[in-house]
Amino acid sequence: MMFKTDNKMRAGLSALALMIGAAMPAAAFAQDASNAAPADGGNDPNQPRLGWYKTCTKQDDADICIVQNLIMANNGQLVTAVGLISVDGKVNRKILQISVPTARLIPPGITMQVDGGKGQKLDYAVCLPDKCTAEVPLTDAMINSLKKGTDVTFTSINFRRAPNPIKISLTGFGAAYDGPAISDSKLAESQKSLQDSMQKKAEEARKKLEDAQKAAKQQ
């Protein structure tokens, strides 16, 4: 499913894709996040994450800033990507984009709920082989709600027709949105720390599997 868009929108989409790719060079979207993360995976202290942060770049005649949060499973697979995109130039635009794994049911879209408030449906804008992305115009009311909230839950429906809610803490969102963009050096440092954590967890999982296989052979 594709959609029509102008140069500014494409710039925002391209920027978010680049930021996700830069943040997680070793990760790929899970085919089904239902087994990759718990419903409150965004609050799991053992789950690798960078938290909320802002990156800014310039594309053609547009200045693009993205406040984002990437949620991954312990195996390094990206479960949910949130991007609040601000495009400033000849055309000003603000967009909220949510990316989830592929193999989603399209009509239900993604439901966004801040704390216990009323859920808002986000329709999918595009589905690619590795992810489905929903988007909606970003309003001041939405931004204020996220700033005041404790957590936000994004629920998609997988191909088994099972809801897949991912809860993300809003701690640090306001500071990231109103504050300066993260420096390249700081982002690189955070990425390295995250990759080291992912590698350590992968090695621990591999060792547990090897130990279990050895124990099974001895029985």
Q: Give the whole-number percent of the chain exceeding pLDDT 70.
A: 67
In SS3 terms, the chain reads as CCCCCCHHHHHHHHHHHHHHHHHCCCCCECCCHHHCCCCCHHHCCCCCECCCEEEEEEECCEEEEEEEEEEECCCCCEEEEEEEEEEECCCCEEEEEEEECCCECCCCCEEEEECCCCCEEECEEEEECCEEEEEEECCHHHHHHHHHCCEEEEEEEECCCCEEEEEEECCCHHHHHHCCCCCHHHHHHHHHHHHHHHHHHHHHHHHHHHHHHHHHHHC
Mean pLDDT across 185-211: 68
pLDDT recorded at residue 172: 95
pLDDT recorded at residue 27: 33
pTM above 0.85, yes or no: no
Q: Which domains does the chain have, with CATH numbers?
A: 7-185 (2.60.40.1880)
